[in-house]
Amino acid sequence: MIRDITIGQYFPGNTIVHRLDPRIKLVLTLVYITALFMAKGLPSYVLMLATLITCLYLSRIKPMTALRGIRPIIFIIFFTMILHIFFTGGDPLFEFWIISVSKDGIFTAVYMASRLIMLIVGTFLLTYTTSPIALTDGLESMLNPLKKIKVPVHELSMMMSIALRFIPTLLEETDKIMKAQMARGADFESGNIFRRAKSLIPILVPLFISAFRIAQELAMAMEARCYRGGGFRTRMYAMKIKKIDIIAAVCMLTFLGLIIWEAYLM
């Protein structure tokens, strides 16, 4: 289960998606999320799925790698589906006691599950194809206007990037600790859910110690390099909007227009 969580991971590459400006990718991700929540009906969802598959193909991210990130929350997806199946009104297909299942409920459950899956895979694609440094620079550049009202833009962007980057690091540490505990006879898989939760308590103490150790090492490394935040800092690679970025933005805005047209104007 620990190895299945892929949030925050970066897969280096030289594809079209990898080469896009991080600011454009952040905006495109927001446009994609907006379009996903505006989608209504089968044509819209088919268009959303086709767009997501195209982006995965262009980024050379394997579909199984993207879907692997869904496994930790598969219970939430199924629970959401069950709620919509049994609590959505409409003409019932069959009834039993106080339970009623309608055609509208089934369709709504399928749509909601599809929306959650595409939302997770689509947002994970941003971190899969954008390095933490590029993501930090993109966030800082987009939030630059807030500096006029004394908002510490660089520090906020750096904290968000470090927090995102620490997720796979802490997951790796958790996996090592669990393997070490299992080698000493710990059992994390047998018993009911309460017993399994109780068996995870011995992992928390070494995990917290490891997290503080990693944080201290990072702070010492930044201090040794004379890091002083965003004041008068320069970048090795200047961010520039290229032709491919403009084409990607036009394609995504056209895609958003199609979703709005299909969902609200047809």
The pLDDT tens digits of the residues spanning 212-242 come to 888 888 888 888 887 776 656 666 667 788 8
Structure confidence at residue 240 (pLDDT): 81
pLDDT in tens, 64-121: 877 777 777 788 888 888 877 777 766 666 766 667 777 777 888 888 888 888 888 8
What average pLDDT does range 127-137 have in this prediction?
Answer: 82
Rounded Cα–Cα distance for residues 196 and 266 (Å): 51
CB contact at 8 A, 192 and 233 = no
> Is residue 55 a contact partner of residue 24, using CB atoms and an 8 Å limit?
no
**b/e per residue, 58-91, with b = 16+ CB within 10 A?**
ebebeeeebbebbeeeeeebeebbeebbeebeee
- Given a cut of 70, is residue 157 above it in pLDDT? yes
CA 199: distance to chain centroid? 28
Q: What is the pLDDT of residue 229?
A: 67
- Helix ranges (H only) for the chain are 16-19, 22-38, 42-59, 63-68, 74-87, 103-129, 132-142, 153-183, 193-199, 201-224, 243-260
Q: Choose the most confident range, by mean pLDDT, from 28-32, 94-98, 174-178, 254-258.
A: 28-32
Percent share of the chain, pLDDT over 90: 0
| For residue 59, pLDDT beyond 70 | yes
Q: Which pLDDT score, from 0 to 100, does residue 90 have?
A: 67
pLDDT at 123 over 80: yes
Residue whose structure tokens are 């219970």: 75
What pLDDT does 234 receive?
67
| CA 193/CA 23 separation, integer angstroms | 43
% of the chain surpassing 70 pLDDT:
85
pLDDT digits (tens, 9 = 90+) for 170-203: 878 888 888 888 787 777 667 666 777 677 777 8
CB contact at 8 A, 59 and 121: no
- pLDDT of 7 reads 62
**pLDDT of 1 strictly over 70:** no
The token duo for 246 is 């403009």
